[in-house]
A and B are shown apart, each in its own frame.
Chain A
């Protein structure tokens, strides 16, 4: 099985849907491109810690309410 580029998971799409925020609006608030928001949502890009905090702040949530981490299977 191909390993995804990042093990960081997120609930950004769910939170956006709940709060009716579009990808373009979120990107504008974060100062990144919409492609970056899409890549983070799809787990193709692991955001920096600073950007992760900014995303959590936009949704008024705690960092671990937005992001998770898949532990290595033993």
Chain B
């Protein structure tokens, strides 16, 4: 579900931010409330969509599910580290907080997306040995 909802939330956020900015300078546009709504909205939509497709049917994940989740999360985390490093460099060179916050938001979205894609790949193509 995350593979669709998180990027969709981010895309909606970008559109609303650009609309709000209009002809003004982008970095001077208020963004924190839009980020909060986009993240909160994505969480709520994810939960509702999971309920709608019967994701909480009580089926316990087995050892293969846990292994796939762990491997996928590990791949997603690599992007999270890279994004955090980029944000740190931006902070070091005194870039506006707007760009740092947006770099971090994009990092959360893309690492979640990468983890979801990896999970789908492992489920369809198989789990490689260590």
Residues in A lying within 8 Å of B, measured CB to CB: 4-6, 31-33, 35-36, 39, 42-46, 48, 51
Contact = CB atoms under 8 A, between A and B. Distances in A.
A33 B126 contact: no
Per DSSP, chain A at the interface is loop
Interface residues of B, number: 11
Contacts of A36: 62-65
A31 B64 CA distance: 11
Interface string B103-130: 0000000000000000000010111110
A48 B128 CA distance: 13
B93 interface: no
20 contacts: A4-B126, A5-B128, A5-B129, A6-B128, A32-B63, A32-B64, A33-B59, A33-B62, A33-B64, A35-B64, A35-B123, A36-B62, A36-B63, A36-B64, A43-B126, A44-B126, A44-B127, A45-B64, A46-B127, A51-B63
Contacts of A43: 126
Given A39-B126, A39-B127, A43-B126, 5 more contacts: A5-B126, A5-B128, A32-B64, A33-B59, A44-B126
A2 to B, nearest CB: 9
A43 B127 CA distance: 9
